[in-house]
C-alpha cells in the first residue's frame, strides 16, 4: 500500500526571494500531505493493506486507491481539503446495515463495499471530502453550518453537541433515519499541508437509504 501511494505523491519545489517567505514555504513543505497521513498507520497492515484493528482507516485508504484522481488530490500539497475518514468499523457497520450480515475481516468488508459498484464508492468518498481546510476548532465554532462536499451540490451540516463539559461535532448527512457520524479523531495526524483529516465513527450517506 505504501508503494502505491508513494508512487502517486506529487513533489512540488519552489523558489523564494525573501527569507520570511522562504521559511514559511519550508514549514509547509515539512508538513505531511493527507495521503501521507492515510499511510501513517500502515506499519501493521498485511500485504493487501488490512489488519485486525477496527479503529484505523485501512478500508477508506484502499477505497481511495481505486481512483487516481483522488490519490492525486490527497497527494497535492497545494490543495485545500478536509477529509472525514470513517474508521474500519464504520464500514463494517455499513455493510451490516445494508446486507444484514456482519463481515469479520477487513478484506471481506472492503470487497462488500467495492461490490456496491465503482460509481457508488466514488460518490461516497467524494461526499466525505470538503473543498476547504476545516480544523476541529473551526468545526466547533460552526454549529449549524452547511458545508459543501466534492459530490456536486450535496452538503453536510455541522452540529455541535454538548455532553457535560465536552463539546463534540456531529455531521448530519442525507440519510434521515440513520444515526449520524461524530468526529472521534479530530485533526488526525495534525495539520496537513493540504488540509485536515478527521476520523469519524460512521460512514456519511449521500442518499436517504430505506
Candidates 193, 154, 194; CA nearest to 175 is 154
Q: Where are the domains of the chain?
A: 2-9+18-200
How far apart CA 140 and CA 133 sit, in angstroms, is 14
Enter the pTM of the model: 0.86
Is the pLDDT reported for residue 155 higher than 80?
yes
Question: What is the average per-residue pLDDT within 107-136?
Answer: 97
Alpha helices in 33-87 (DSSP H): 34-39, 58-64, 68-75
Q: State the chain's mean pLDDT as an integer.
A: 87
Name the pLDDT band for 3 (thresholds 50, 70, 90). Answer: very low
What's the confidence (pLDDT) of residue 12?
A: 29
Residue 28 pLDDT exceeds 80: no
For residue 27, the model assigns a pLDDT of 53
Give me the mean pLDDT over the 101-116 stretch: 95
**Portion of the chain with pLDDT greater than 70, in percent:** 86
Name the class of domain 2-9+18-200: mainly beta
Looking at the chain, the whole-number percentage of residues with pLDDT higher than 90 is: 75
Nearest in space to 57 (alpha carbons), one of 28, 34, 81 = 34
pLDDT value at residue 47: 87
CA distances from 109 to 54, 89, 159, 176, 199 (A): 11, 9, 29, 24, 18
Asked if residue 77 has pLDDT above 60, the reply is yes
pLDDT digits 0-9 by tens, 37-56 = 998 877 788 888 898 889 99
Find where cell 488526525 sits. Answer: 188
**pLDDT greater than 90 at residue 30:** no
Q: What is the pLDDT of residue 128?
A: 98
C-alpha 100/C-alpha 210 separation (Å) is 13
Identify the sign of the CA torsion 196, 140, 63, 1. positive
More confident residue, 26 or 68: 68
Q: Residue 184's pLDDT is what?
A: 97
Contacts of 68 (CB under 8 A, 6+ apart): 8
Alpha-carbon distance 134 to 129, whole Å? 11
Whether 191 shows a pLDDT value over 70: the answer reads yes
Q: What is the pLDDT of residue 122?
A: 98
Amino acid at each position: 500500500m505504501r508503494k502505491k501511494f508513494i508512487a502517486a505523491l506529487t513533489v512540488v519545489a519552489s523558489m523564494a526571494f525573501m527569507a520570511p517567505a522562504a521559511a514559511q514555504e519550508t514549514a509547509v513543505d515539512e508538513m505531511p500531505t493527507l495521503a501521507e497521513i492515510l499511510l501513517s498507520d500502515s506499519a501493521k497492515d498485511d500485504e493487501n493493506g488490512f489488519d485486525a484493528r477496527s479503529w484505523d482507516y485501512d478500508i477508506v485508504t484502499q477505497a481511495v486507491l481505486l481512483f487516481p484522481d483522488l490519490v492525486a488530490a490527497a497527494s497535492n500539497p497545494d490543495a485545500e481539503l478536509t477529509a472525514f475518514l470513517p474508521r474500519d468499523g464504520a464500514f463494517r457497520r455499513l455493510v451490516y446495515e445494508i446486507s444484514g450480515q456482519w463481515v469479520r475481516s477487513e478484506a471481506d468488508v472492503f470487497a462488500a463495499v467495492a461490490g456496491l459498484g465503482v460509481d457508488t464508492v466514488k460518490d461516497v468518498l467524494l461526499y466525505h471530502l470538503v473543498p476547504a481546510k476545516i480544523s476541529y476548532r473551526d468545526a466547533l465554532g460552526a454549529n449549524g453550518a452547511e458545508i459543501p462536499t466534492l459530490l456536486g451540490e450535496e452538503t453536510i451540516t455541522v452540529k455541535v453537541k454538548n455532553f457535560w463539559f465536552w463539546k463534540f461535532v456531529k455531521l448530519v448527512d442525507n440519510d434521515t433515519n440513520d444515526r449520524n457520524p461524530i468526529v472521534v479523531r479530530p485533526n488526525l495526524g495534525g495539520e496537513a499541508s493540504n488540509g485536515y483529516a478527521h476520523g469519524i465513527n460512521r460512514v456519511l450517506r449521500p442518499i436517504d437509504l430505506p
